[in-house]
Structures are given as structure tokens and as C-alpha cells.
Structure 1
Amino acid sequence: MKTKPAAFAAAAAVLVLDQLTKLAMRHILLDGVPRDILGSVVRVTLRYNTGAAFSLGWGGPVILSVFTVLASVFLVRYMLKIEGRKKVLWLGVVLGGAVGNLTDRLIMGKVTDFIDIGSTGWRWPTFNVADIAICIGGIAVFFLFKGSKRLEVPTKENQT
């Protein structure tokens, strides 16, 4: 499979998985009522988020939607220009997550979150499959680019 189509397939897979899990949780769960999966450590709790990832409250749906559209356009353009199968595939994963949350914002004006992790007295902000894709994809991209050799700028010393 060629790298660029595979990256867009990865983005589509993340988008579909994200939207299907959100749809299922909206039909199964009551808003704000947790259901334990692994005791109280891992549970599903339906929440709606008008802020940024992990229910961070800055911005509104319009600002975040515009930012996400711009970031998605940048990702697509960058994916088409760069080389490196792993880099392009992981950027596709990030793109799928971004478009997943954007889809919620455009359709509902808010993002559906449902993965709820924590313990007594402390809980991580509720999140979703798109958030996981953005975070894991972003970390993978960081390490892949960090490990890349940088282009050496020609100087008088290294031109001989």
C-alpha cells in the first residue's frame, strides 16, 4: 500500500472508530452517570465538552472549529509534501482525531467525551478516541521527527 493513501486510510479509520464509539455511548449512557469498566479506575461517563481536548475550557466551538480546520489543512498539505512512511501514517492518525472532534463540533456544537480514568479523589478529564489518536499520534510524530537527521547547512568547512 502506498504511503499517502495509507495515511488517509488511517485518518478515515480513526474518524469512523471515533464517531461510532461516540454514537454508541450517546445511546447507552446517561449524561454524567458513570459505568465502571475496571472498577472505578476505568469507567465510561458521558460528558459533553465545548472546550478543547480533555475538557479544557478555553475557546468556544467556533474558535476551536476554525483552529481545527486550519490545523487539518496544514496536516494534509504537510502529509502530501513529506517523505517517510511512519511519519505520514502517524500524521494521518492525528488528522483522523482532529476531524473526529471537528465533526462533533460542527454537528452538535460540542464534543462527546466518555473515557473516564482515575481513582478515589482524582480523575483525569474525560476524553474520547479522537483525543487518544491526537495524543498518541502527536507523541509518535514528535519522536519520529526528533530522530530525523537534519539537513546540514553548507559551510566553508564542510564543503571541502
Structure 2
Amino acid sequence: MAEAERIIGTPDIPESAGAEPEHGTAGETEQPRGRRRIAVLFAVALFAYALDLVSKMIVVAKLEHHEPIEIIGEWLKFEAIRNAGAAFGFGEAFTIIFTVIAASVIVVIIRLARKLYSLPWAVALGLLLGGALGNLTDRIFRSPGVFEGAVVDFIAPKGFAVFNLADSAIVCGGILIVLLSFRGLDPDGTVHKD
């Protein structure tokens, strides 16, 4: 049993004097803890996804085909654009590839969820999942067609790419993952030192 848990990535439970842990003790506390982390992951993802979806609906209804709205002078505006590519409009001919990448990221995060015992990793992966779902929804359901849709972007800082809340969630999740990795914290809750 301990070997199987080690192979699937369940964190090792400390054993005293080399004895096997008794059934019904530490193993039972690890199960609910892991479920709570998974619940946090999906709650964060749902929140990020819903916020992105609602913001895009408002932008399409109220801002598209209108003049940009200045938030902080010309330094920050809300300006509705459709982006078939990645950041800075790069790769507009590869929309289908970005769709496949987003779908792959979602699958990887869902597979990682069963090995998740770290709250910070749950938040980070939740942000990535919510952001990926937000942009994937645009790629699937917006014009010009299924899997080729243009993403709605609207946050326009001066001299920078126009982006949306899904992009923000992805970037924040990515930064958090880098910080956690530098600190040696793994998704299964263990800490390693290099």
C-alpha cells in the first residue's frame, strides 16, 4: 500500500521507528486534506473563470464598437479588441494551436489535482485553470468559428499588450508557480532542497 501511494505521488506519511502506520490514523487525515486542496483549486478556477466571462460579456455589450474609456488618463484604457493570436497579436494564423495548448493545460491541471496537497499550489493551479478556461471559451464559441475564435481583450496599458482577466489569472498563477518552485515546495506538499 505504501509503495502504491509513493508511485501515484501521495505524500509520504512519517513512520515511527520504521513501523507501518496504522490504518485509520494519518492516512485518513491526508485524504480530507487532499480533497480540501482540490476544492480550493476548483473554487479559485471557477471564480477566475466567472470573473473573466462576466467582464467579457460587459465589454462586448457596452464597449465594443465604441471609443475606448480612459481609466488613468492615457496610461490605462479599456478598449475592446478581438485577438485571434497570442499576446501582442502574435501568431494570428495559429489560433487552432493556441486552442489545443489551452485544452492540454486544462487536462494536465485536472490530472495533477489528484496529487495536490499544497494550498499555495491549489491557488496557483486554480488561477491557471480558470484563465485557460476563460480564453478557451472564447476560442471555441466566438467568431469566426469553433476552435478559431478570437479572444476578447480590453485592458490596455500604454505601450503594452491589450489583455483580459483570463490572461491576468494565467500570469499570476504562473508567477506563483515559479515562486513556489524556487522555494522548493512541490504540489504534493513536500519540500525539497537542491
* TM-score (structure 2 length as normaliser): 0.71
Task: Tell me which residue corresponds to 2:127.
Answer: 93
For 2:173 and 2:121, the matched residues in 1 are separated by 9
> 1:31-83 deviations in whole A, cap 9, x for unaligned?
47321011111110000000124533355222111111111101111132132
1:141 & 1:59 partners in 2: Cα distance? Answer: 30
Distance 1:53-1:77 versus aligned 2 partners, 3 A rule: farther
Please state if 1:135 is matched with 2:162: no
Classify 1:88/1:59 alpha carbon distance in 2 versus 1 (closer, same or farther; 3 Å).
farther
Q: Contact 1:87 / 1:145 at 8 angstroms: preserved in 2?
A: no
Percent identity over the alignment is 32
Show the counterpart of 2:73. Answer: 39
Q: Which residue number in structure 2 is paired with residue 150 of structure 1?
A: 192
Higher strand share: 1
Structure 2 runs not aligned, ≥5 long = 1-34, 143-148, 185-190
How far apart are the structure 1 equivalents of 2:77 and 2:114?
Answer: 38
Structure 1 distance, partners of 2:167, 2:44, is: 15
The CA distance in 1 between the partners of 2:36 and 2:117, in whole Å, is 11
Q: Of the two, which has the highest radius of gyration? A: 2
Q: Within 1, Cα distance between the matches of 2:41 and 2:88? A: 25
Greater relative contact order structure (CA < 8 Å, 6+ sep): 1
Instruction: State the alpha-carbon separation in 1 of the partners of residues 112 and 93 from structure 2.
Output: 26
The count of corresponding residues between Structure 1 and Structure 2 is 148
Unaligned ranges ≥5, structure 1: 153-160
4+ residue runs over 4 A deviation: none
Match of 1:114 among 137, 140, 154: 154
Alignment check: 8 A CA contact 1:55 1:127 kept:
no
